[in-house]
Amino acid sequence: MLEIDDVRVGYHRSTVLHGVSVEVPKDGVAAVLGHNGAGKSTLLRAAVGLLTPTAGRVRLDGEDITRRRPHERVARGMAYVPQGQQAFPHLTTAENLRLVADGRRRGKAAVDEALHLFPALRTLASRRAGLLSGGQRQQLAIARALVTGPRVLLLDEPTEGIQPSVVTEIEETILALAGRGGLSVLLVEQHVGFAMRAAQRYYVLESGRVTSSGTGGREAEASVREALSV
């Protein structure tokens, strides 16, 4: 599905990832864990094409997309939800979704589907996104990504800074999305319990290197916590 192969990438002259390999299973979830500054967001930016690796390859269904522009990757079925619950604050919830849907085949149906996944958003359709809570804005950001009908979804810390009750809602939706087939997810997540529940594969990043990886699931949780504690 999505393969990040020995990627070296950074900003200007500073290298952040020193040869990182991550594989996202078809219709499955790969979780990336690591402390602040480890390079998790940098990895997602390289995956979606906002940063170009100086070495290594990114492949989607076997096709080398390392030099493809972000919009070309989106056209191939990739969607990216950046860290920080971003939305157009002066547009309403519905307008934020329609913005992505406009000009797409099945655009309106896709907006309805996205709203169906996040019932909380339905009642907020005409509220300006700038007035939504952090959790509601995060749901909107995920919904907006889903409007493009992606095959691969890149999620950067979808539960960061969100109150616990809404975190559970967002987690359940991500699990449901991953479970219904046809969608692969690369999930950056600091909550180890949720990440390991969702993931078939996990990767621990430390200072731009994968220091631990393996099969996901509850059983691996202890070894991940240990890898993160050092």
* Residues within the interface to Mg ion (CB under 5 A): 40-41, 83
Q: Which is nearer to Mg ion, 110 or 187 (CB)?
A: 187
Q: Which is nearer to ligand ATP, 40 or 73 (CB)?
A: 40
- Amino acid identity, position 4: I
How far apart are alpha carbons 28 and 105 in whole angstroms?
Answer: 26
- Residues 128/101, Cβ–Cβ less than 8 Å: no
Question: Which 42-81 positions form the footprint of ligand ATP (CB under 6 A)?
Answer: 42
How far apart are alpha carbons 31 and 199 in whole angstroms?
Answer: 6
- Residue 154 C-beta: closest distance to Mg ion, Å: 12
- Residues 34/191, Cβ–Cβ less than 8 Å: no
Q: In the set 28, 39, 49, 135, which binds ligand ATP (CB under 6 A)?
A: 39
Q: Residue 11 interacts with ligand ATP (CB under 6 A)?
A: yes
- Residue 127 C-beta: closest distance to ligand ATP, Å: 28
How far apart are alpha carbons 106 and 111 in whole angstroms?
Answer: 9
Q: Residue 40 interacts with ligand ATP (CB under 6 A)?
A: yes
In 54-174, the DSSP E strands lie at 55-60, 63-64, 78-81, 152-156
- Residue 29 C-beta: closest distance to ligand ATP, Å: 18
In DSSP notation, 17-47 reads EEEEEEEEPTTSEEEEEE-TTSSHHHHHHHH
Number of residues in contact with ligand ATP under rule CB under 6 A:
11
From 29-37, 68-76, 129-137, 165-173, give the range in contact with ligand ATP by CB under 6 A.
Answer: 29-37
- Residue 44 C-beta: closest distance to ligand ATP, Å: 8
How far apart are alpha carbons 123 and 5 in whole angstroms?
Answer: 43
Q: Residue 41 interacts with ligand ATP (CB under 6 A)?
A: yes
Q: Residue 34 interacts with ligand ATP (CB under 6 A)?
A: yes
- Residue 191 C-beta: closest distance to Mg ion, Å: 14
Q: Which is nearer to ligand ATP, 13 or 105 (CB)?
A: 13
Orientation angle between helical segments 107-117 and 93-101, nearest 10 degrees: 140
User: Which residues of this chain interact with ligand ATP, rule CB under 6 A?
Assistant: 11, 16, 34, 36-42, 83
